[in-house]
Structure 1
Amino acid sequence: MLERIRLFLASLDTQSQAQAPLDFATALGALMVEVMRADNEIAPDELTMIAKLLRQHCQLSEQSSELIRTEAQRLVDDAIDLHRFVKVVNDHTDEEERIEVIELLWMVAFADGKLDPQEDYTVRKLAGLMYVAHGDFIAAKLNVKEVLGLAD
């Protein structure tokens, strides 16, 4: 019995070591997917917004952005937590760029025309994990609402 447990634990260790490193676009896509899924609805407008933002901010083709979004969805489905994705984004961005990432997350949250409390909570949680100050978090939200023409 102990031998089987040891073998099982060894296989888990091997699997975690074999996990391929993430690129920035996929990690960013995963965070956007997490915001999209926060309200337990996947709206077509949100899927479109994620692909559009990946194209614009990661200089990807339409086909590449769609593939990365699909891969990000798969990774989020399999993920235990978001720290792997947040770490990649934090490692590749400075403070100002992380605020821009929060703006992108807000754009996904507002893509379907409404903000669900779970989406708000998810962006807030990610902002904390990315060390974005609360004032910058709020300013990013207000900026996106203004850009999208959404009223309070």
Structure 2
Amino acid sequence: MLQLLKEFLNDVGIGEKPASRFSDGDYRLAAAALLIHVMSIDGQETGAERDKLHELLQRQFDLDDEAAAELIAAATAADREAVDLYSFTSLINRSLDEQGRRRIVKMLWEMVYADGRMNEFEDNIVWRASDLLGISQRDRVELKREVAQLAKSRDDA
């Protein structure tokens, strides 16, 4: 009976919350928050974008469905509370080498092209995040072309 009461209080947000497997210092949380920021910047989150987000996180971070959903929930909250991109990018910079940071930028481009098109707001966010991650303009553009070509070939098929 006591356990049922405890679960009820947790469900309504009064009791203790179970510990998240993604702490504030986890670069995966920062990367997911950047992806969510890109996904929501145009004000139109599509099913294709949500599916792409889930798939990217599972593939890149080797997560199961439950862990990916938990990461998305935590990252959505982190993105809502953030005032800028720096808190996310500085954590990623401390956690990953250049190759890892390039992988994050590629994920951002994959998120941009998930709905088949790119707008200037999405392009600007990736440009700013890439700059903060220390990724050169040349590498950013190269990654953009690579992802855009894959997206185009997928659309043509």
TM-score range (shorter-chain normalised) is: 0.7 to 0.9
Q: Does 1:100 align with 2:103?
A: yes
Moved more, 75-84 or 27-36: 75-84
Cα distance between partner residues in 2 of 1:75 and 1:141? 26
Tell me the CA shift for residue 52 of structure 1.
Answer: 0.8
Cα distance between partner residues in 2 of 1:124 and 1:83? 13
Match runs of 1:65-104 below 5 Å: 65-104=68-107
Cα distance between partner residues in 1 of 2:68 and 2:149? 26
- Alignment gaps of 5+ in structure 1: 1-19
Aligned position for 1:119: 122
- Alignment gaps of 5+ in structure 2: 1-22
Match runs of 1:42-61 below 5 Å: 42-61=45-64
Deviations 1:115-148 (A, max 9, x none): 0110011000100110100000000000101222
The count of corresponding residues between Structure 1 and Structure 2 is 132
Q: TM-score, with normalisation over the residues of structure 2? A: 0.79
Report the 3-state secondary structure (helix = DSSP H, G, I; strand = E; otherwise coil) of the residue aligned with 2:125: helix
Cα distance between partner residues in 2 of 1:84 and 1:141? 24
Aligned position for 1:34: 37
User: Which stretches of structure 1, 4 residues or longer, exceed 6 Å deviation after superposition?
Assistant: none
Cα distance between partner residues in 1 of 2:51 and 2:29? 16
Deviations 1:29-50 (A, max 9, x none): 0010111111122112111111
Tell me the CA shift for residue 91 of structure 1.
Answer: 1.3
Identical aligned pairs, as a percentage?
Answer: 24
Q: TM-score, with normalisation over the residues of structure 1? A: 0.81
Contact 2:105 2:143 in 1 (8 A): yes
Cα distance between partner residues in 2 of 1:70 and 1:41? 18
Contact 2:41 2:122 in 1 (8 A): yes
Question: Compared with structure 1, are the counterparts of its residues 21 and 70 closer, same or farther at alpha carbon in structure 2 (3 Å cutoff)?
Answer: closer
Cα distance between partner residues in 2 of 1:30 and 1:63? 17
